[in-house]
Amino acid sequence: MTNASIKAEATKYLINTYGTARSLALVKGEGVYVWDADGKRYLDFLGGIAVNALGHCHPAVVRAITEQARTLIHCSNLYYIEPQVRLARLLVENSFADQCFFCNSGAEANEAAIKLARKWAKDHGHPERYVIVSMEQSFHGRTLAAITATGQSKYHKGFEPLPEGFRHVPYNDLEAARRALEAGDVCAVLVEPIQSEGGVNTPDRDYLRGLRALCDEFGALLILDEVQTGLGRLGRLWGYEVFQVEPDAITLAKALGGGVPIGALLAKASVAESFGPGTHASTFGGNPLASAAAYATLRTILDENLPEHAAAMGEYLQEAMLALRKEFDCILGVRGVGLLRGLEVSPEVDGNALAARCIENGLLTICTNNTILRFLPPLIIQPEHVDAAVEVVRRSLREVLG
């Protein structure tokens, strides 16, 4: 099939949640490259939205999936699952956490975190504390509780009434967070170390530490949504390390499974104990296949020191984009940390048209908030890939500016 014929069938048979602006069907990937159905190659600086941290079809992940598929694909959590236990141990030994719960996506991981926070407050004699404080411009996923936590009204529209017990405050504003906590009804603050979907918004160095202090003062949990920032993307294994803060819980998904769907909630034992038998579950969560893929992915990230590499490549990308800024007045700034980067163009430039032009020129990227070109490349990229990507952005900018 071709791009066009796949698109035609998709338009007919798929519910139209993703729109028809898309023109490509991707059929093959290797390392930092993907190929569309017409045989054209692209440099992938979107990485399946921060999922393909090891690039495409990394041999370690392919091997793990293949071996596990021959052995046991699924059995349910009615039984102990060896790959899941191995994965949990590796996560715990390399993080602040004592225990893990596995699910299938970022939204589900946040649902688990929200439920855990409410249960934890009740278990500690505070049934009146059930509010989740989250941030304006945040993104936490598309299930009902997750969109309610998400501080962007465009994701709420049409789905009211939304669940109760959520409050939004401006990001990077400790005074606003204090006022929200002073109400005395808050069980947790849920926050992304860097807001990616919301526009690559990076907080002040002491913001998360400030939230930590406020949570301690008012008896609330600090839960970090590391669905996108976790697993090396920010140049450290965890985003909380970048901001030198210790959370009570974090949520993961995206990069965790090397492309196989898996999400996780990691927590301190003192918090995790509020999830007793029967309180939460997932049929697929942490099944043998997904756990084996995730174990191989995390093992590779650790063994190959990819967070450090991501930090170096992130600096290189930042420098290259700052050089580009000198050439184009319409580039207003470069944002982000590690390999979560955004190039901000002035509102006169159609950011979506620019992203489309980059794709035509062989570079996968995405525009967020109409003016931020987002780059989430695989952590395995090399300087020559950055050079090639920046060259495509340069050419595409020239073309859209006419």
Ligand X SMILES: *Cc1c(COP(=O)(O)O)cnc(C)c1O
Give residues in contact with ligand X (CB under 6 A).
105-107, 110, 139-141, 192, 196-197, 225, 227-228, 253-254
Annotated catalytic residue within 36, 102, 185, 254? 254
Q: Which is nearer to ligand X, 103 or 334 (CB)?
A: 103
Strands 131-135 and 166-169 turn out to be parallel
**Mapped to the 3 state alphabet, what secondary structure does 238-304 carry?**
CHHHHCCCCCCEEEECHHHHCCCCCEEEEECHHHHCCCCCCCCCCCCCCCHHHHHHHHHHHHHHHHC
| Shortest Å distance, C-beta 364 to ligand X | 17
| Shortest Å distance, C-beta 306 to ligand X | 19
Q: Which is nearer to ligand X, 185 or 197 (CB)?
A: 197
Give the whole-angstrom CA distance, residue 97 versus residue 317.
32
| Shortest Å distance, C-beta 228 to ligand X | 4
Annotated catalytic residue within 36, 185, 225, 248? 225
Q: Residue 158 in 3-state DSSP?
A: coil
Tell me the residue nearest to ligand X as measured from the CB.
Answer: 106
Contact 150, 139 (CB under 8 A): yes
Q: Which is nearer to ligand X, 44 or 197 (CB)?
A: 197
| Catalytic annotation present for 254 | yes
Length in residues, the chain: 402
Is the backbone peptide bond immediately before 161 cis, with ω within 30 degrees of 0?
A: yes
Amino acid at 242: V
Give the whole-angstrom CA distance, residue 244 versus residue 249.
15
| Catalytic annotation present for 7 | no
Per-residue burial over 73-95, b if 16 or more Cβ lie within 10 Å, else e, is: eeeebeeebebbeebbebbeeeb
| Shortest Å distance, C-beta 360 to ligand X | 26
| Shortest Å distance, C-beta 50 to ligand X | 7
Q: Which is nearer to ligand X, 140 or 357 (CB)?
A: 140
Query: Which tokens is 150 given?
Result: 């998400």
| Catalytic annotation present for 139 | yes
Q: Which is nearer to ligand X, 91 or 331 (CB)?
A: 91
Active-site positions read 139, 225, 254
